Structure 1
Amino acid sequence: MIKQSVRVVNSTGLHARPAATLAKIVKKYESSLTLINNGKEIHIKGMMSILGAGVKGNSTIDLTCDGQDEQAFMTELKTAFAEGFGEAC
């Protein structure tokens, strides 16, 4: 299990476009992903759970990856968050 804090650099948070990108990343890996936002723990399985997390822009959240490919999963997640999911931040 790997836990990491990441900053959401997108000024509008995890809205539809970044959520769709994150959902694609999640589907690539066997490991599970849990997002913790303001003390609320959400098990991420797809786009709806991401949107339901209500992650605001310029906030810090905790991610937990658990499974066989957790290291590669976390590496890709950290890169995606740092790059703002390819959007102008």
Structure 2
Amino acid sequence: MKEFNALVVDPVGLHARPATVAVNAASKFKSEIKLSYKGRSVNMKSIMGVMSLGIPTQSEITISAEGEDAEAAVQTIEEVLKTQKVIA
């Protein structure tokens, strides 16, 4: 299993536009990918799941992946969230 922790720095938190981009990126991988926040985990490939967490700014999140392409999945999602300026 591969994972990384990040701090959400977007003033609005993890909102719909960057969440959609991240979900689309996650959906390209075969691995099971999870987004965790405050003890809750959701499928990173589900926009409804991601949005249900209501992640505000200055929140610690964890992205984890398990499967054959887990490392590439985690790296890609981290890059996408940085490009969208959601995490630092």
Quickly name the TM-score band, shorter chain normalised.
0.7 to 0.9
Answering whether residue 22 of structure 2 is matched by residue 22 of structure 1, we say: yes
Cα distance, 1:76 vs. partner?
A: 0.9
Which SS does the other structure have where 1:63 is aligned?
Answer: strand
> Residue 35 of structure 1 corresponds to which residue in structure 2?
35
Superposed structure 1 runs of 4+ greater than 3 Å apart: none
Distance 1:14 1:35 in 2: 11
> Residue 8 of structure 2 corresponds to which residue in structure 1?
8
Answering whether residue 32 of structure 2 is matched by residue 55 of structure 1, we say: no
- Matched length: 86
Cα distance, 1:43 vs. partner?
A: 2.3
Which SS does the other structure have where 1:28 is aligned?
Answer: coil
Which SS does the other structure have where 1:34 is aligned?
Answer: strand
Counting helix residues as a fraction of each chain, which structure ranks higher?
1
Which SS does the other structure have where 2:14 is aligned?
Answer: coil
Scaled by the length of structure 2, what TM-score is found?
0.85
> Residue 73 of structure 1 corresponds to which residue in structure 2?
73
Kept in 2: contact 1:7–1:82 (CA 8 A): no
Cα distance, 1:17 vs. partner?
A: 0.3
Distance 1:36 1:59 in 2: 11
The answer for unaligned runs of 5 or more in structure 2 is none
Cα distance, 1:72 vs. partner?
A: 0.8
Kept in 2: contact 1:26–1:46 (CA 8 A): no
